[in-house]
Every structure is written in structure tokens, then in C-alpha cells.
Amino acid sequence: MKNKERLVWIGIVSFLSFALILPNGSVKGISKTGESYLQIFHEVLSFIQTDYVESVDDEKLYQGAIRGLIASLGDPHSRFMDKDDFSQLQEETRGSFGGLGMEVSFADGAIVVISPIEDTPAMKAGILPQDRIVEIDGKKTGDLSLSDSIKLMRGKVGTSVTIKLERKNQKEPMTLTLVREMIKIRYVRSSFLEKEKLGYIKLNQFMGKDSTLSEFKKELAALKEKGAEGLIVDLRMNPGGLLDLAIALSDLFLKPDLDIVSVRGRGGELVRVFRSTSSGDKAIQIPMVVLINEGSASASEIFAGAIQDHGRGKILGTVSFGKGSVQNIYPLSHNTGIALTIQKYYTPSGKSIHGKGIQPDVLVKSVEPTEDDRFYIRKMAEKKMLEAFVAKNPVYSEANFQLFEKYLSEKGMKLSSDVARFLYKSRSNKEGQSPLLDLDLDPQMKKAIELLSVPKEGEKK
């Protein structure tokens, strides 16, 4: 009886498959090979549904097939989003969502951190760009899709999640337990350096297009009104976002009719070249430095590439992430969607930064621990030494830092002074919002100020 049912089912499936064929003998948008494999797919599906030893969940089957289809592209940035994923994406674009606070991608069987987001559990825990998350709550990320991994890291505010991550140049994996928070992103922050007469704008993400563009312009105008004679645009740890916003912000600083970015599609075919406009609210004269690091990706690299190629300002920091592809979000039925890589972008000089990144004009590294520092940091973490000291000395001061160094020496922890200062000062700010500028911890910012403070010819400064 079962065999008869199977034959009837296969017959129905075959009929439905061929019913899709148009009068000219081909399925719309599908090749002959595609037609054959559609039929095979339905045949396999029918055997699973009728003969597999366990009962099956149809939704799970179909979603697995869709994810497998996209995974076969070998592109970590293309993905299927179920109802929850798609809803979360919409929350992110509005600037508020629950979780740990980091932008991630999938590569080589692990979740790779593009960038932690400022003032979030991920950043406070010291997670860095290029860290590889290999386990989430005991589940290996190599066995999970990107969206499933993201789903595991998200959850109810106040609950905890344990992740294991591998870090370049560190032999042993690190295990961290983080408490989920409501992630609210303030995209634009600024500061005026009175002594140096310099403006500083920190852009956390290229999101919230119209509001972010408006806020950026407002902050820029306020800095110029205060007498800023130079500008530092900080794109460190900025994972990117909207292409249109990257173009609009680049346009602010470029003379009219200059290439900002070109976009090429399948086969390298030129799709479009975006050029600067003659809009009246430009800032084309003010000297500028753009800060980037390994957490600067996508739209950040478009902006930095345009400024660099036209000699509009100096790019300072370390090599950026290298994400030179454009994803389009396609809403699908039943509140689902897909993110699909449709194009690659190129800087004005024709360079693709995909997998290579933007090379800074001035290479300056951030405070980085040596191998010995890492050894002692691990020892400190095992004994929760930093937490114990901060609990007794929560307010950072130079006097308390001297006490911290003495405390480390007594415990046999031979940390370099810069790293010790970084650890204590960054952790002492944990309960509140981190200060926007802190030159003690920021050699890249120090160098940017130095570059912009060089007196112009005929001036004394």
C-alpha cells in the first residue's frame, strides 16, 4: 500500500513540477538543468515525508533547503532570514535591538567579529574585530548557520550567554559569559577640542539614513561655528551599513563631479558610478583625518576610499576589514527575507578592497598587548583580579592607577604600563558610558591631532 501511495505522490509531484513549464518548454527564470533538479528535489522531499524513520517538520525541511541553497553560493554575506531574523533586522535599522552588540559574519566554519558596537556588552568584554566565535552556549558555530548563531546570542535582556572565541596570536581559546542588554545605538557623537581648535565626529554605523545624515551635518556645522580649523572623522569599529548614506556623507567633503564609488555586478559589468554633487552645504576646505581600523568595514571603506583617492584627507590607523560587496535585502512571503550579495564596489581609483581593506596613509596601531601581556591577562582573568581591584577602586585616577600597578607587581603580574592603564581605565568606566575621547588610551587619536596641528605656511600655532 505504501508503495502505491508513494507512486501516486511522485506522480502528483511530477505533474506539479511540469505544470510550471511554460508553453515554450522552459520554466520562467530557470534553466533546463534547474528544471531537472527541481524535479529531483521534489522526489527527495516526497521520500523524506513518506518514508523517513522519524516524523518531519515541513517548515524545518523547507527552511533547511533554502539555507542550503544560499550556503552553496559560498558567500558569508548572503543569508536567509526567517520571521524572527527579518524582524530583528528591521529593529537594527531603527537603531534598537536586544543582544550582545557586535556585527558578525560567517567564514571558514566560524562566526567572525567584524566590529563590537560602542558601549555594549561585547565591547566592554574586550571582544575585538577578527575574533572567531567557535561556540555559543556549548554549540559549535561550525554546525550552525549565521542566522542561527545570531539567534543564540540574542535573547531576553538580563539573561546570559557563554561564548568561546579564538583570537589571532593567542594559543588558547577564551571563554566569556556576557549578559544581554537592550542595544541602543547613537550613531553620531562629536566633541570640540578647544586647545587644538579641532572638531571630532565619531560615526558608529551608516544607519538611519536621513536622521544620521541630518545629525552629522548638524554636528559638523556646530563644530565649525565653534572655530574648528580641522576635523577628525572616526570610523573605527564602524561595520558599515547603508550605501546611500556612505555616498551622501562622502559628498559633503568632495568637490563637485568627482567619483565616490563605482558598483559592478555579475561578470564585472559596470552598474553605476556615484559622483559628488554641487550641493551648497559642503565642507571641502577644512583639513581632515579619517580614523580606521580592522573593525571598519563596507560603507566605512567607501567613505575612506573616496577621501583617500582624491587626496581630500589623511587616512590613519590600521588596515580596514575588507568587505567590498553590496547586499540587497529582498522581502519574501510570510514576513521572511533574504540578504543577497548583488554587486561589488570599487574606490575612485578602481581598487577593489574586498578581502584586502583600505591601507592607511599613516599606520598607527592601537594599544596592543604583547604575548607576555596576554599570558598575564589570562592569569588575571582566571583569578578575577581586575574585577576585585575595580570593586575597591571604582574611580580611575592617576593615584589609583599607581595603586593598580603596585597591586599587579605584588601579585607577580608583569603587564606593560600602557596595557595595564588600558585595562584599568576601560573597566573603571564600565558602569557608565565611556568617554568619547581619551588620549591616554588612544595613540591613533594623538597622532591625528598631531597631523592636524602642524602649522600652515606663514602661521604660528
Position 132 scores a pLDDT of 92
Phi, psi of 418 (to 5 degrees): -60, -45
DSSP state of 201: E
Domains 98-182 and 188-326+341-363 in one fold: no
Q: Which range, of 43-57, 82-96, 341-355, averages the lowest pLDDT? A: 82-96
DSSP state of 241: B
What CATH number labels 98-182? 2.30.42.10
Positive or negative, the Cα torsion across 183, 63, 73, 163?
positive
Was domain 188-326+341-363 assigned CATH 3.30.360.10? Answer: no
Query: What residue type is 64 in one-letter code?
Result: G
pLDDT tier for residue 454 given thresholds of 50, 70 and 90: low
Domains in the chain: boundaries: 98-182, 188-326+341-363, 371-440
Position 284 scores a pLDDT of 95
The cell numbers describing 90, all together, are 528591521
The predicted model scores a pTM of: 0.71
> Could you identify the residue written with the cell 578592497?
353
pLDDT tier for residue 292 given thresholds of 50, 70 and 90: very high
Distances (CA, A) of 296 to 6, 236, 314, 340: 55, 5, 16, 21
Residues 203, 364: Cα–Cα separation, whole Å: 20
DSSP state of 313: S
Residue spans of beta strands (DSSP E) within 377-435: none
Residues catalogued as catalytic: 298, 309, 323
Residues 455, 417: Cα–Cα separation, whole Å: 32
Instruction: Give 133's contacts (C-beta < 8 A, 6+ positions apart).
Output: 104, 110, 111, 112, 113, 141, 149, 163, 164, 165
pLDDT per position as a tens digit, 25-83: 444 567 888 889 999 999 999 999 999 999 999 999 999 999 999 999 988 889 998 88
Is the pLDDT at 352 greater than 80? The verdict is: yes
Inter-residue contact 299 to 245 (CB < 8 Å): yes
